[in-house]
Structure 1
Amino acid sequence: MDEDRLSELPDSLILSILSLLATREVVRTTILSKRWKNRWTTVPCLHFRLPFSRGLWVESSKFVSGALAQWKGANILDFTLFLSADNRLIPSTDIDSWLLFAIEKQVEKLTFGFAAKLHGAFFLPQSLYSCSSITKLSLHNCSFKIERNVQWNNLKSLKLVTWDGSRLLSGDAMNQILVGAPRLRKLILRSFEFTENFNFRSNSLLILQIIECNLKAEAELRIWAPNLSSLVISGLVCGGCLLYVPSLITATLSFKDLSGEFGEIDREDMPPLEMFHQVFRSIRHVEYVSLEYWSIQFLVEMKENDMLVQFPNAEFLKLEFYSYRVTDILAVLGMFPKLEMLIVRQYDYMYESVASEMASLSPSLLHLETVEIYIHDEEFSISPLVEYVLENADVLEEMVLQPYRGRDDQESFILDLKKLLGMRRSSPYAKVIVNEK
């Protein structure tokens, strides 16, 4: 029982385990034995998360400074400094010194930022822009003022996040970053507000995610990335959008009101339909497509205005929407002639359509093998979409229906299931599974 099996592990394994813990927890291992007294000082990963409490801030600040003063490692592989405290309590000189320590130790992965809205801006130290050792960088609620050339020669992944849509990043700063990061593969921007033109021009970029961002009417978003394979654009788009993405494989387009209330966007405030038509034409060669909210509406309007876009290579389609007519959804399905997998997330009822309207559309479902329909509305019913797919998908193998759990009327639910069992199925191998959540 007195055997110290933990200490018998190889040093490399012990360091790997300790690298996953918060530095405060790692330091506490000094009480285990004399052999562990200084082991923490060589752990190559340092993770500090400072609390919001005013009373704990001073103690936490002293702990960070003390831990860095005692650390004896050669280089830092991973450095996390996340501050939940009111930034008016935090001397910027302390923060700069902590970041400078990581930079001098040739940090490879750096996560830094604030978990709360700042009182005023926090500008990153200029020395960070010349830290060529960084391969992965994640910054939260920081402002950018670049006074020298960016030298992120080994940077492969960059994530920039704000909490309140603040304009902390200019189009010029974005250009400087992309020029100074010639090996950048993945770029994520979340919750930014674009009030000027932004050019995402990069030959190395493979993944680009512009999430929950607000593109103002006076701004234009231009993406020139010939090797890009995955693209996500979500948020409110009121300005222009130009894409050159010939190698794109996966695309997610979610044009919506950032307040979260579907339908509150004034259609007249958005760009003309021709702009969205140009966007969809730029991605028509993709294989995996995810469309949400207004993206579906734009495709329907394009069809009605003889601006039809086809996706001849797409094998996967995900649709996420509130209330829609079944005929609108069928019109969208008609744009994907080689579809093999369809996922539908429905947050409200689906309008009924007469048989003649549905028959006039007749989208091809010759390749459809798998369908998943998640119904988040409390009123579960077998929609005409389910019936149409069962009757027309000749090679359908599996349909999974997952209704919202929370209804009191189990009797009507059972009647719907009986109706489902009695529906005609075009494919003799079609299996229908109902998973009630």
Structure 2
Amino acid sequence: MAEDAESDAESRVRAKRSDDRRGHLDRLSKLPDSLLCQVLLNLPTKDVVKTSVLSSRWENLWRSVPGLDLGYGDFPEYNAFVSFVDSFLGFNSESCLQNFKLNYQYLRRKYEWNWTELDNANVTWWINTVIKRKVEHLHLSDVIFINPKSVSLPSVKVMYLDMVKFANDWAFEMLISGCPVLESLTIERSACDNVDYLRVCSLSLLSFTLVGHCNEDMNKEQVVAIDAHKLEYLKLYCHETASFIINNPASLVKMAIDIRFNLSFEKRFDPNDLPKRNMIRNFLIGISNVKEMDISSYTLEAICNYSRCERLPLFRNLSSLHADFDDCRDLVNLQGRSQLVFYLNLIVTYRLLATELKLMSYFLENSTILKKLTLRLGSFRGNEESAFLKKLLTIPRLSSSCQVVIL
């Protein structure tokens, strides 16, 4: 009897789960096809195709999803991959395509990074096809751009390039100039490694992210030049790039930087290197209007070394600063060279050492409009925290509204 009761209970649970699934499917089935396709647009294409087994209504619905998110690894062999992409782009060929994400990585690994004429022909045809279908989001991984005669991507608003190679500097510049409504550009990993002068010139760009190598052994004198008068957000995470040029920076609101200007333990900042000094000066002037900044300890170190030669510009609009400090002594050395903190409505996060109160004293005693100072005390032991807090309370605050928060 007990076994029968247990079996009945399990059957009821299974039946309830089945009813729940059917109920969920029924709720989805009530949606119009156009809305279902927008939901499926958020899934990888291989998962979208699997929905074809749900019912007769879903059998061909995946063909109408306005996006392709596919990689060679989703197929057992190359010809099947090519055939599927060709077929998919042939479905509803007159309709607009929102997203096109193509990852050739597995293919390139299989052929040991050799690029054949067939591969280039396929990618060229696919990109030309999605252009005709007015693609808005273009995400390419592990492909090569050969010298184009012309580039026209009139509808692309978001572009993501991951490990994309260009024949030369001009090929990259043509790609960007061929996107008249581009709003967001992201370049990741070894994309554009073979481009010596990476020029991003755009009248429409709002957001630019460049994430390169963080390899101290790199010795690449690459130049990154940004000319985008509408740019609001800038993220630079690349240690090996030697020079940064920012033109028309007035609209810049937020930025995150982890750069070294290609300086390292082996290649130190040379005060006699006037071109490097001029470049750093112009870069700092170019970002001096920013309102929110996230800056790494490596970048702070480079700026500190530069500040021993020249005075830093004022950051009058800065309202939020997040900085990582390996050692606060370098930043303390900036006290006489920059009036940065006088204009901060500031939140600072710092892993303090018990003996390093000088930096905190500087912020509290010199910031007239400082609203909030957040301290992360992660290295104290025993009575160290209590002793530190007592010392902190004795520091005078120039800003009467300043709040100190201890984490």
* Structure 2 partner of 1:101: 87
| Deviation (angstroms), 1:155 | 0.3
With normalisation by structure 1, the TM-score equals 0.69
Is 1:386 the equivalent of 2:360? yes
Counterpart Cα distance in 2 of 1:421 and 1:152 = 59
Question: Residue by residue, what CA displacement relative to the aligned partner does 1:1-37 show, whole Å, maximum 9, x if unpaired?
Answer: 66853314532365554444455555555666xxx34
Gaps of 5+ in 1: 44-70, 342-370
Corresponding residue SS for 1:410: coil
TM-score normalised to structure 2 length? 0.74
User: In 1, distance between residues paired with 2:265 and 2:89?
Assistant: 46
Amino acid at match of 2:180: P
Specify whether residues 264 and 83 from structure 1 end up closer, same or farther in structure 2 by C-alpha distance, changes over 3 A only: farther
What is the CA–CA distance in structure 2 between the aligned matches of 1:27 and 1:161, rounded to whole Å? 25
**Counterparts of residues 301-312 of structure 1 (less than 5 Å):** 301-312=305-316
Question: Is 1:110 matched with 2:100?
Answer: yes
- The 1-side partners of 2:58 and 2:322 are apart by 50
How much does 1:136 deviate? 0.6
Partner of 1:79: 68
Counterpart position of 1:417 = 389
Q: Distance in 1 between matches of 2:143 and 2:97?
A: 19
- Residues in 1 aligned to 2:398 and 2:243: alpha-carbon distance in whole angstroms: 44
Quick one: distance in 2 between partners of 1:264 and 1:402? 29
Name the counterpart of 1:430: 402
Identify which of 404, 426, 429 aligns with 2:378. 404
Distance 1:314 1:421, change over 3 A: closer
The residue aligned with 1:139 is 140
1:320 aligns to 2:324 (yes or no):
yes
Change (3 A) 1:144 1:332: farther
Deviation at 1:39, TM superposition (A): 1.3
Deviations 1:85-135 (Å, cap 9, x if unpaired)?
Answer: 8x9x742x4333333334434532012215667321455511233232210
CA–CA separation in structure 2 for the residues paired with 1:382 and 1:40: 66
Q: Deviations over 1:325-356 (max 9, x none)?
A: 14235357524542212xxxxxxxxxxxxxxx
Alignment of structure 1 residues 217-228 onto 2, 5 Å: 217-228=220-231
Report matched runs for 1:2-41 at 5 Å: 4-6=22-24, 7-9=26-28, 10-12=30-32, 15-22=37-44, 25=47, 36-41=55-60
Superposed counterparts of 1:117-266, under 5 Å: 118=109, 119-121=112-114, 123=119, 125-130=123-128, 131-132=130-131, 133-162=134-163, 170-192=168-190, 193-213=193-213, 217-237=220-240, 239-249=242-252, 250-256=254-260, 263-266=264-267
Aligned residues: 360
Contact kept in structure 2, 1:299 and 1:332, CA below 8 Å: no
Structure 1 pair 295–8 and aligned structure 2 pair: CA distance change class (3 A): closer
Give me the identity figure in percent: 17
Distance 1:218 1:427 in 2: 44
Change (3 A) 1:265 1:142: farther
Q: Report if the CA contact (8 A) 2:269-2:306 is conserved.
A: no
- Residues 380 and 404 in structure 1, CA contact (< 8 A), matched pair in contact too: no
Does the 8 A contact of 1:198 with 1:221 survive in 2?
yes
SS at match of 1:374: coil
CA distance in 2, matches of 1:153, 1:323: 48
Change (3 A) 1:264 1:391: same
User: Counting strand residues as a fraction of each chain, which structure ranks higher?
Assistant: 1
Residues 431, 212 of structure 1: alpha-carbon distance in 2 compared, 3 angstrom cutoff = same
Q: Pairwise mapping of residues 56-67 of structure 1 onto structure 2 (< 5 A)?
A: none
Task: Tell me how far apart the structure 2 counterparts of residues 268 and 222 of structure 1 sit (CA, whole Å).
Answer: 21
Amino acid corresponding to residue 200 of structure 1 in structure 2? V
Relative distance call for 1:194 and 1:296 in structure 2 (3 A) is: farther
CA distance in 1: counterparts of 2:250 and 2:397, whole angstroms: 38
Q: CA deviation at 1:394?
A: 4.3
SS in 2 for 1:311: coil
CA contact (8 A) 1:26 1:40 kept: no
Q: Aligned partners of 2:127 and 2:237: how far apart in 1?
A: 28
Deviation at 1:217, TM superposition (A): 4.8
**Distance (Å, rounded) in 2 between the aligned partners of 1:222 and 1:390:** 37
- 1:334 matched to 2:339? The reply is yes
Q: Which has the higher helix share?
A: 2
